[in-house]
Structure 1
Amino acid sequence: MNSKTNTTGAKADTKPALVPKLRFPQFREAEGWRSTPLNRLAIRVKQKNRDEKIDRVLTNSAEFGVVNQRDFFDKDIATQGKLEGYFIVELGSYVYNPRISSTAPVGPISKNKIGTGVMSPLYTVFKFKDDRNDFYEYFFKTTGWHTYMRQASSTGARHDRMAISSDDFMAMPLPVSSPDEQQKIADCLISLDELIVAQGCKVDALKTHKKGLMQQLFPREGETQPDLRFPEFQNTGEWEREELSNCLKKVIDYRGKAPPKSESGVPLITAKNVRFGWLDMTNDEYIEENKYEEWMTRGIPQAGDILFTTEAPLGNVALFPCAGKFALGQRLLTLRSKSERCLPEFLLHSLLSPTMQEDIDFHSTGSTAKGIKSAVFVKLNFCYPKDIDEQQRIANCLTSLDDFIAAQIHKLESLKAHKKALMQQLFPFLEGAEV
């Protein structure tokens, strides 16, 4: 056992009082918090699944918490006949998964909220003595306990898993205040979570609405009129149906060897930057300034050009930035439309329509990473209204909806960021720990 830890709990609560940065008004004059080892507040669960009476296998995901293994992996990882050694995890118990990841650098601790099941003996299962423990569910979502885990774990740990004994784990120091203050913090964060969930549902509903609207605004396969047309265009006749290439002025295909990346220079747009209708430049990559002209000899995109991913991920579309200098990486096509025939904004939304996405997928090849060749892509069936004004009307409608969805997504991300910042202030710093 690590000499720095104390599993007996005999000398608990001897450290100086802890004070969080933010306290609710009714507790500001109360005494400070204290630090108490987990083994004083909870008991370790070691009940095995004898006779395999329980066949519901659970797993602890860093992103989703405790979930059914079958739902998470789309199959059973653990096989029947080998579950006798698994721990029984009751509703309300907590589970520590020692597997580390970018989102859980020392492994996640999650509360079982879905019902009784069994888990691998590689996990550590424990249950708080007090049923009012939502406070600790939120504490384990902070990083306030990470420093202890790093200090108590073995230096010979596998690169993807923490090596910490059960005794050392149960000696983890936890912050303790009055039950009323802990419940107040939990209630606050629960309310914020409910708000986040409601906002997430709103975003999902808007996305579903947009998908249904696009199914009506664009003709189905083999048809030349959509189910829904704006009033001023209802008597303007059928749409034109022909090869996509007939509506394109230029196609630039970036294939071959990988671009000469560097730590700075001209920003590089790759397939992973092109999302479903928008450009994500948070993952910055560059090529050297003096290699830009040589790399872009196949053609330099212009404002209004459309970027299309030919594979991994297939079928994503975004407009090329109107301002700035950018280089393009592999697996991208640049499409320049004949604006007198097909507006760029209409082409963008048309490529994102359910009918076009299904056609792109149908003509793609490959088993693991599906892709489509540019020569095949430009020959796809393309349907558009001859009236440029109708194209503009459709594009404006969907662009406005996209802007509204983006605003709601921004609100959702702001709520998540607010919660993260709030949690950093509601929980005190433990000595030698980061929050």
Structure 2
Amino acid sequence: MPSKVEKLKKTTPELRFPGFDGEWEEKKMGEVIAFLKGKGISKDDIIGDGVNKCIRYGELYTEYGEVVQKVVSLTNVPAERSLESKFGDVMIPSSGETAWDIAVASCILEDGVLLGGDMNVLRPSHETDGIFLAYYLSNGSKRNIARLAQGNSVVHLYSSYLRGLKLLVPTLREQKKIADFLGTIDEWIENLKAQKREWEAYKKGMMQKIFSQEIRFKDEDGNEFPDWEEKKLGRVSEINPSSSALPEEFNYVDLESVDKGILSNPIKLQFDVAPSRAQRVLKRGDILFQTVRPYQQNNLFFDLDGDYVASTGYAQLRTKQVPQFWFQYIHSNNFLRKVLSRCTGTNYPAINSSDLKGTHVQVPDLAEQKKIAGFLSSVDDLISSHQEKITRAEEWKKGLMQRMFV
């Protein structure tokens, strides 16, 4: 039989605020929570000038964390056709792609927000804090919730299963203390994200001015650079240069490997099992341009050592000019518009290499290319620095919560 000390360790968190002691109490969710179902509100019901605030279940994945700070959607669906929130309600999706993804909870801090279908709505009793509950379910109990999900291609989470889920919860006073502390951390992280968004908006505005030539750089002596010349892209960059034979082993870059200029998880492959699309042998300074759905702008400036081969889903650009400049240029609004006008296909618009070569571009002097590339790259460095701070802060928060919940 376990000793009193051993039992206490299992029912109290590793990290605790001063002034709180004693065991956390085990309860079933159905004992302290009323279960409701959201209803109504399709994607087509969301309109910019709607009269009612609303939340759809898909937004629990994309828009909100554990606490809904600001409702982003509006609708004209009348309240009687949906479910109106109460302050402190907690929402969990009823369906999703994976069991792990579905195990998320968000607490709403407003009355009267319409809560759409495919959503479990948990209304805590007076002895349970909704914000604490959302943090607890999304972190301390996430694995247990994921185990309750049913299904394969689409998983479902039923309230009847959630009712029996066991929780270990402290007093209401300690719940509020934990919720306030984690809320402060979230505010700090959100401020970091806001700073990053400001730099991203600044860069977007500066790119528009630079590539429209509203802003021009000057040389080291303060003199104007020559006028930009109009040329076809194929004149300033080799498109899909002839490649040497594939290496015996290489890192394969497919369309899933790049997200907004960041390369992650390239696939290590042997030559004899490589897919037929593995054809673009990369050299440092090459640019990969996403030719299918180019508006996603998942392009890559390749600046690595080692053997890498890219999919033919990318166009490979190799220039003798300033490659960093051309990487920035292909993200300009004007260039994207020209590319899209040459694309074929509706659901998956794509541009072929011939049409890409024939796309007209504005070409500055090489010295000005270097100036522009240096300036925009310095802004990119600031954006990356903010993202690193965000990542570290989120990892720190995750580590804390692992120690703050039982």
Give the TM-score, by structure 1 length: 0.75
Question: Which residue does 2:263 correspond to in 1?
Answer: 280
Question: Which residue does 2:179 correspond to in 1?
Answer: 186
Alpha-carbon contact 1:306-1:317 (below 8 Å) kept: yes
Tell me the amino acid that sits aligned with residue 31 of structure 1: G
Over 3 Å counting, the alpha-carbon distance change for 1:103 and 1:209 in structure 2 is farther
Question: Which residue does 2:96 correspond to in 1?
Answer: 100
Work out whether 1:245 is the aligned partner of 2:227. Answer: no
Alpha-carbon contact 1:101-1:107 (below 8 Å) kept: no
Query: How many residue pairs are counted as aligned between the two chains?
Result: 377
TM-superposed CA distance for 1:57, in Å, is: 5.6
Alpha-carbon contact 2:55-2:113 (below 8 Å) kept: yes
Question: Which residue does 2:155 correspond to in 1?
Answer: 161
What is the CA deviation profile of residues 320-357 of structure 1, one whole-angstrom value per residue up to 9, with x for unaligned ones? 233010122121111111x2xx2112111111222212
Alpha-carbon contact 1:48-1:88 (below 8 Å) kept: no
Alpha-carbon contact 2:291-2:313 (below 8 Å) kept: yes
User: 2: distance between equivalents of 1:21 and 1:187?
Assistant: 18
2:26 to 11, 27, 35: 35
User: 1: distance between equivalents of 2:267 and 2:38?
Assistant: 51
Alpha-carbon contact 1:94-1:110 (below 8 Å) kept: yes
Alpha-carbon contact 2:93-2:157 (below 8 Å) kept: no
Larger Rg: 1
Alpha-carbon contact 2:282-2:307 (below 8 Å) kept: no
Tell me the amino acid that sits aligned with residue 328 of structure 1: A
Say which SS state the counterpart of residue 283 (structure 2) adopts.
coil
User: 2: distance between equivalents of 1:306 and 1:415?
Assistant: 32
What is the CA deviation profile of residues 275-301 of structure 1, one whole-angstrom value per residue up to 9, with x for unaligned ones? 44x34123x3243234679976x6633
Alpha-carbon contact 1:274-1:318 (below 8 Å) kept: yes
TM-superposed CA distance for 1:226, in Å, is: 4.1
Say which SS state the counterpart of residue 26 (structure 1) adopts.
coil
User: 1: distance between equivalents of 2:392 and 2:352?
Assistant: 40
Tell me the amino acid that sits aligned with residue 93 of structure 1: D
Tell me the amino acid that sits aligned with residue 16 of structure 2: R
Structure 2: 5+ residue runs without aligned partners? 1-6, 41-50
2:136 to 134, 139, 146: 139
User: 1: distance between equivalents of 2:166 and 2:98?
Assistant: 24
Work out whether 1:312 is the aligned partner of 2:306. Answer: no
1:150 to 147, 150, 172: 147
2:225 to 229, 236, 243: 236
Tell me the amino acid that sits aligned with residue 19 of structure 2: Q
Question: Which residue does 2:4 correspond to in 1?
Answer: none
Alpha-carbon contact 2:277-2:312 (below 8 Å) kept: no
User: 2: distance between equivalents of 1:279 and 1:165?
Assistant: 39
Over 3 Å counting, the alpha-carbon distance change for 1:99 and 1:347 in structure 2 is same
Select the structure that is richer in helix: 2
Work out whether 1:197 is the aligned partner of 2:190. Answer: yes
Structure 1: 5+ residue runs without aligned partners? 1-14, 255-259, 429-435
TM-superposed CA distance for 1:317, in Å, is: 2.7
Query: Does 284-293 or 363-372 show the bigger shift?
Result: 284-293
Question: Which residue does 1:211 correspond to in 2?
Answer: 204
User: 1: distance between equivalents of 2:117 and 2:253?
Assistant: 45
TM-superposed CA distance for 1:148, in Å, is: 6.2
Over 3 Å counting, the alpha-carbon distance change for 1:119 and 1:178 in structure 2 is closer
Report 1:304-343 matches (<5 A): 304-314=285-295, 315-337=297-319, 339=320, 342-343=321-322
2:336 to 342, 351, 357: 357
Work out whether 1:270 is the aligned partner of 2:254. Answer: yes
Report 1:368-387 matches (<5 A): 368-386=347-365
Alpha-carbon contact 2:120-2:159 (below 8 Å) kept: no
Say which SS state the counterpart of residue 383 (structure 2) adopts.
helix
TM-superposed CA distance for 1:163, in Å, is: 5.8
Give the TM-score, by structure 2 length: 0.79
Say which SS state the counterpart of residue 300 (structure 2) adopts.
strand
Tell me the amino acid that sits aligned with residue 142 of structure 1: N
TM-superposed CA distance for 1:375, in Å, is: 0.6
User: 1: distance between equivalents of 2:285 and 2:152?
Assistant: 50
Over 3 Å counting, the alpha-carbon distance change for 1:227 and 1:46 in structure 2 is closer
Tell me the amino acid that sits aligned with residue 42 of structure 1: I
Over 3 Å counting, the alpha-carbon distance change for 1:247 and 1:186 in structure 2 is same
Question: Which residue does 2:45 correspond to in 1?
Answer: none
Kindly report the root-mean-square deviation, in angstroms, between the aligned alpha carbons of the 2 structures.
3.6
Question: Which residue does 1:432 correspond to in 2?
Answer: none
Over 3 Å counting, the alpha-carbon distance change for 1:404 and 1:381 in structure 2 is same
2:393 to 409, 415, 429: 415
Say which SS state the counterpart of residue 19 (structure 2) adopts.
helix
User: 2: distance between equivalents of 1:56 and 1:293?
Assistant: 48
User: 2: distance between equivalents of 1:274 and 1:145?
Assistant: 29
Question: Which residue does 2:56 correspond to in 1?
Answer: 59
User: 1: distance between equivalents of 2:99 and 2:242?
Assistant: 36
Alpha-carbon contact 1:20-1:426 (below 8 Å) kept: yes
TM-superposed CA distance for 1:132, in Å, is: 4.0
TM-superposed CA distance for 1:109, in Å, is: 3.3
